[in-house]
Amino acid sequence: MTTGLIPGGQPPDPRPTGGLPHQRQEPPVDQAALHVDNRSRSSVITARAAASFEPVGRSVASARSFVRDTLQGWGFADIVDDAVVLTSELVTNAVVHAGTSADVLCLRSDDGVRIEVADRYPEREIPLQGQAVNMGNPDREGGRGLQLCAALSGRWGVEYTPTHKQVWFQLDLPERPVGTRAAGPSLPADLLPLADGRVRVAVVQIDRTGAITSWNEDAEELFGYTADLIIGKPLTDLAAWPHTPGTSTGIAEALRLSRWEGSYGIRDSDGRVTSVYASHLRVRDTAGEPSTVCLLVRDHERAVLQTPLRVPADSTSSSDGQSTDPFEVFIGSPAPDDLDGLLQRTVERARDMLDGDSAFLLLATDDETELEVRASTGLPSARQRFARVPVEAGPGRYGSARMPAVHDDLTAVPGAVPLLSGTGMRSVVTVPLKVEGRLTGSLGVAAESPGRYSNEEALRLQFAADRIALAVESARLGELERLRRGSLSFLVEASDLLAGTLDRDQTLALMAQMTVPTLATWCAVYTIADQASDPYLSYVLHEDEELIDGIKSLLSKIQPPDPVPTPGARVWSAPGEAAHQAALRSSMRSLGLSGGPTHQIASGIGPTLATASAVGGETVVLPLVARNRVIGMLTLGKPTDEHFRQEILELAEDLSRRAALALDNARLYSERTAISQSLQRSLLPPELPEIGGVEVEVIYRAAGEGNEVGGDFYDLFPIRDGAYGFAIGDVCGTGPNAAAVTGLARHALRLLAREGLSGPAVLERLNSAILDEGARSRFLTLLYGELWPQEDGSAQLKVVCAGHPLPLRLRQDGTVEPAAEPQPLLGVIEDLELYEQAVTLDPGDVLLCVTDGVTERREGARMLGDDGLADVLSTCTGLTAGAVAARIMRAVERFASDAPSDDMAILAMRVPGLQKD
C-alpha cells in the first residue's frame, strides 16, 4: 500500500500507515486547483489522503484501517462506520473480484468527506450514455458496493476511462458545534433536567472482593450512611438489583466489567430504596490490585452521567426526510431473506464497523445453556461451524456470554473464547443478542493485534447487536419451524419405507439411503447378532459410489465402536485418525520414503487419499436399541471438520429408534420364516422315484407368503417290487394347522401301504387316526392309488377317491373321462365303506389328478370347474407329463388376475408306451 496525507496545503506525513512497503508522496495541494470543474466536488478541499493497495486479500483490511485512521484523525468519528463499510465493499470488488490494485483517495471539505476507489480492470466495458444501470443481485458475494453507496451515502457516482473505473461517494457531516464530539441543542430553562438543590454525585470504590473501600460525603448525604458505618461492607448488601427474567447476571458481574452504565436501587439508612443511575469504571492501583469506581446520582438526574448516543439524532432519516429503519442502516437494504445470509451479512458488517480481522455470531440453544457457531468471517468456518460452547463460566469458557466483554490479549487468558483458539486472534469484543430479556445469541469481533478494543467499541457493537437481534431471532424461529416440518415429513416417509419391508438386507439399505445425503455424507451400519457377538460391519454407503469400497476397507481395519446403549449421538474419532494415518502413509510411499520402487504402489495412492479425505471429518455413532438390547450402531460421517447440527443429530436419533425396531422385526421375521420353512420342507416328500414306463410330473403351489406347505399335499413312493403308491389330498384350511394334518396323512399312508394293506383298508385306518386327533382333527379329501407298470407298455391302477375331485383320463384320441367314482371323505364319520376301482392306462394315455384349488379358481362370478379343466386337458394330446402339468398350471393362472387364495397341487402321469428299435 502506498499512502500520502496532505492536510490543507501542508506536506504529507512521511510515516507509514501500515500496508505494503513502498510509499509515495504527493505534492502540496493548490487550494484553487481543488475546485471541481466537471465532477461533484462543489466545496473547497481542506485535506487529502491517498493510498494504493495490491491485489491481495489482506489489502481489504489495510484499506479499512487507512480510512478509519484518516477520518478519525480529521475528527469525523460520526461517519467512520459508514465510510469503512463502503470502502471495504469497493476495495473487495477491486482486489478480490477484479484482481487489480486499488487506489483509495479521501478528500475532506467543509461540508463532508468524499472517498474515491479506482481499479485497473483492463477488460471492463464502458457503459453507453443513457443506458440503465444494473445494480446487480443483492444476494451475490460481489456487486453490492453500488447498492450500499446508494443506501448510505449522500451522493455517489461511477466514472469510467478506457483503463480505469472509479467509484466515489460523499458522506455529509452532521451539523454540530465545532470542536465537540457530542452536544445537545440549547433548550429553554423549563425543559432542562430537574435537580433537587445541588446535584450530588456519590463516589464509591469497591475492591476485588466486592467490599466498599471509599464512601464520599455526597454518598453520605444521598443514602444516610456515614463512612465508618459502611466501609468494609459488600455493595450487594445495599443494592436492589433488578434481575431480568431469563438471565442470571447481577451487580457482582457488573462490578467485574471494565465499564458499565445503568440503573439500580440503593437501600438508604431508613430502609427505602433510592433509584440511582450508575457509571462503573474498573481500575487498578500501583500494586496491580483491581477495584471498581462507582459514580452514582439519583435516577432522574442521570443526564449528569449518562453517555450520549453516538448516533446523531437525525441518523434515522434519509436526506429526503424519509424515515430509515435502524436495522437496514446496519445490515444494508434489502436484508437477506434466509437466516444464513442474514447472519453472514451481520458478521461482515460487524467486522468492517470495528475494523476487525474476523467476526463471528453464535445462536443460543432453546434452553440457553449453549451457543452454536452459525456464521463467521476471517475464521476457518468449515472447522468451526455448528461447534458449541457453554453460555456461562465453566470449562472451556471465561465469563458469561450474557454480558458484553472485552479481552485485550487472549494469550493472557487461554480459553477465554474457545472459538478463536489457534486462529492467531489476540483481542476480541463480544456482546449478547437479547430479545425481551432472553439471550438469543452472541456477536463478536476479533483482531490479530492485542489491545485493539475498549469499552467504547463494546458499546458500539452492542448498539448494532440490539438493532439486529429481533430480526435474527425471527429468522431463526422461521428456520426452526421449517426444519421441524421437514423433520416430521422425513420421519413419516422413513417410517412408511421401513414398515414396508421385513427383509433384513433391504432394511439395512433403506437405513443408509435415508441418511445419505440428507443427514450425512457417508454412513455405516454395524449389526450385533447376539450379546456374545462383536459388532459386524454390515452396510456402507457414501454419496459418491466410487468411495464406498475404500471406506468399507478402512472401517474393516479398525475396531468397531463400543455398543453403548446410552441414547444420543457420541463422537467417534477412530475413523478420522485412521484416515489421517492412511493418508500419511500413502504420501510417504508416493515420495519413496518407505523403500522399494514407487511405481509398484502408485496405483493405490489416489483411492487411499480420496478415502482419507472422505472419512477425515467428524464422525458420530448412534446406538440401535430395540427391546432393551443393542442390536447395532448407526455411524454418520462428514468429510470436513464441520460439526453436525444439533437438529440433525436429534433427527438422526429419531430415525435410529425407528430403524432399530424395523431391523429387529426383520431379524425376527427372518428367523421365524427360516424355522417355518425348514419344518414345512420336512413335510414335503423327498425326490420322486423313477418309474420305468411311466412319466410323472408334480406342480405344487402353497397359498400365503412364506408358506412352502399348506393343506394340499402329494406323494409318490414305492410299495414293493414293481408296485408304487401315489396320493393327492386336500386338508381343510391352509397354513401351519393344515400342514400338521398333512404330515400325519402323508407319513401314515406310507406306513400303512407298506404293511400290505389294500387301498380301502389304508384309508379307513387313516380316517381313524385323523379322528383320534379330537378337536385338532380336520376333514381330508384324498385320492389314493396303486400303480403297476406292465411289460406291454400299459399300466394297471387301483384307485380310491375319498371326497376328492375325480381323476381325469386323457386318451390318445383327445377324449377326457373321469377315472373313478366319488366316495365319502375322511375325518368326518368313523365307519367308512370304501372300495377301489381298477383303471388301465394304455400307451399315450394321461391320468391327471388335481386338488380343488385348481377347479375352484375364480374370476368374479366365473369358476374354472371340472368342465373347464377337462376342456384344457383335451388340448394336451401327445404332450409329455411335464408339458401337461405346465399347461394346466398356466391355464389356471391366466383364468384370474388375482393371486391364488387356495393351495394347488397337480399330479400328471403318462404312459408313453414301448420304444421301437
Residue 880 has a pLDDT of 93
Three cell numbers at 199?
446535584
**Ranges 186-195, 197-206, 364-373, 481-490: which has the least confidence:** 186-195
| Lookup result for grid cell 474498573 | 282
Amino acid in position 394: G
Separation between Cα atoms, residue 256 and residue 698, nearest integer Å: 94
Tell me the mean pLDDT in the region 620-644: 83
Judge whether 787 and 774 are in contact, CB under 8 Å. no
Q: Which is it for strands 202-207 and 290-298: parallel, antiparallel or unpaired?
A: antiparallel
Phi then psi for residue 889, to 5 deg, are -65, -40
- A 10 A CB-CB count for 167 gives 21
H/E stretch holding 799 reads strand 795-802
Peptide bond just before 334 cis, omega within 30 deg: yes
Does residue 560 have a pLDDT over 70? yes
Question: DSSP letters along 361-429, please?
Answer: EEEE-TTSSEEEEEEEESS-HHHHTT-EEESSSBTTB-S-TTS-EEES-GGGSTTSSGGGTTTT--EEE
Separation between Cα atoms, residue 697 and residue 883, nearest integer Å: 9
Q: Which is it for strands 388-390 and 808-810: parallel, antiparallel or unpaired?
A: unpaired
**Ranges 158-162, 248-252, 472-476, 576-580: which has the least confidence:** 248-252
Does residue 872 have a pLDDT over 90? yes
**Ranges 105-119, 556-570, 578-592, 825-839: which has the least confidence:** 578-592
| Lookup result for grid cell 426383520 | 666
pTM of the shown model: 0.45
Separation between Cα atoms, residue 725 and residue 907, nearest integer Å: 13
Bridge partners of 365, per DSSP, are: none
Could you give the C-alpha distances from 584 to 36, 371, 578, 599, in angstroms and in order? 64, 35, 10, 17
Residue 314 has a pLDDT of 41
Identify the residue with better confidence: 617 or 651: 651
How open is the CA angle 545-547-551, to the nearest 5 degrees? 125
Residue 706 has a pLDDT of 57
How would residue 329 be classed by pLDDT, with cut points 50, 70 and 90?
A: low
Three cell numbers at 709?
406347505
Separation between Cα atoms, residue 849 and residue 712, nearest integer Å: 12
Best mean pLDDT range from 111-115, 391-395, 685-689: 111-115
Could you give the C-alpha distances from 417 to 83, 402, 410, 441, in angstroms and in order? 29, 14, 8, 15
| E-strand stretches of 602-740 | 619-626, 629-637, 695-701, 712-720, 723-731
Is 296 in a helix, a strand, or coil? strand
How would residue 36 be classed by pLDDT, with cut points 50, 70 and 90?
A: very low
Amino acid in position 570: R
Q: How far apart are the first and last CA of the chain?
A: 111
Identify the residue with better confidence: 710 or 233: 233
Strands of the 202-207 sheet, one edge to the other? 212-215, 202-207, 290-298, 273-284, 259-267, 239-240
The torsion angle over the Cα atoms of residues 465, 468, 473 and 479, rounded to 10 degrees, is -130
- A 10 A CB-CB count for 696 gives 20
Q: Which is it for strands 45-53 and 816-818: parallel, antiparallel or unpaired?
A: unpaired
Identify the residue with better confidence: 184 or 845: 845
How would residue 3 be classed by pLDDT, with cut points 50, 70 and 90?
A: very low
Tell me the mean pLDDT in the region 838-860: 91
Amino acid in position 416: A
Identify the residue with better confidence: 501 or 843: 843
pLDDT in tens, 359-389: 898 888 776 777 888 888 887 654 566 666 7
How would residue 331 be classed by pLDDT, with cut points 50, 70 and 90?
A: low
Separation between Cα atoms, residue 162 and residue 562, nearest integer Å: 68
**Ranges 23-32, 176-185, 316-325: which has the least confidence:** 23-32
Best mean pLDDT range from 346-350, 486-490, 552-556, 880-884: 880-884
Residue 220 has a pLDDT of 93
Does residue 605 have a pLDDT over 80? no
Residue 811 has a pLDDT of 92
How would residue 126 be classed by pLDDT, with cut points 50, 70 and 90?
A: very low
Residue 395 has a pLDDT of 45
Residue 806 has a pLDDT of 94
Residue 385 has a pLDDT of 65
Is 759 in a helix, a strand, or coil? helix
pLDDT in tens, 745-787: 888 899 999 988 999 999 999 998 888 877 666 788 999 999 9
**Ranges 16-25, 611-620, 662-671: which has the least confidence:** 16-25
Residue 917 has a pLDDT of 45
Best mean pLDDT range from 196-200, 247-251, 526-530: 526-530
Identify the residue with better confidence: 15 or 874: 874
Judge whether 723 and 755 are in contact, CB under 8 Å. no
Amino acid in position 808: L
CA quadruple 840, 846, 852, 857: dihedral sign: negative
Residue 802 has a pLDDT of 93
Does residue 271 have a pLDDT over 80? yes
Residue 696 has a pLDDT of 93
CA quadruple 511, 514, 519, 524: dihedral sign: positive
**Ranges 319-328, 336-345, 353-362, 675-684: which has the least confidence:** 319-328
pLDDT in tens, 406-449: 888 888 877 777 778 778 888 999 898 888 778 888 999 999 88
Of 117, 171, 182, give the one whose Cα is nearest residue 329: 171
Residue 879 has a pLDDT of 93
Tell me the mean pLDDT in the region 464-477: 84
Does residue 298 have a pLDDT over 60? yes
Is 182 in a helix, a strand, or coil? coil
Separation between Cα atoms, residue 821 and residue 810, nearest integer Å: 16
Could you give the C-alpha distances from 530 to 88, 512, 592, in angstroms and in order? 63, 22, 46
Identify the residue with better confidence: 278 or 328: 278
Mean pLDDT of the chain: 78
Separation between Cα atoms, residue 498 and residue 496, nearest integer Å: 6
Strands of the 522-527 sheet, one edge to the other? 536-542, 522-527, 629-637, 619-626, 570-571
How would residue 293 be classed by pLDDT, with cut points 50, 70 and 90?
A: very high
Judge whether 749 and 766 are in contact, CB under 8 Å. yes
pLDDT in tens, 209-245: 889 999 999 999 999 999 999 999 998 888 887 644 4
Residue 145 has a pLDDT of 63
Does residue 305 have a pLDDT over 70? yes
**Ranges 17-21, 247-251, 326-330, 659-663: which has the least confidence:** 17-21
Separation between Cα atoms, residue 430 and residue 432, nearest integer Å: 7
Residue 787 has a pLDDT of 94
Separation between Cα atoms, residue 273 and residue 298, nearest integer Å: 11
Residue 196 has a pLDDT of 66
pLDDT in tens, 483-520: 777 777 777 777 888 888 888 888 888 888 888 888 88
Residue 881 has a pLDDT of 93
Separation between Cα atoms, residue 622 and residue 651, nearest integer Å: 11
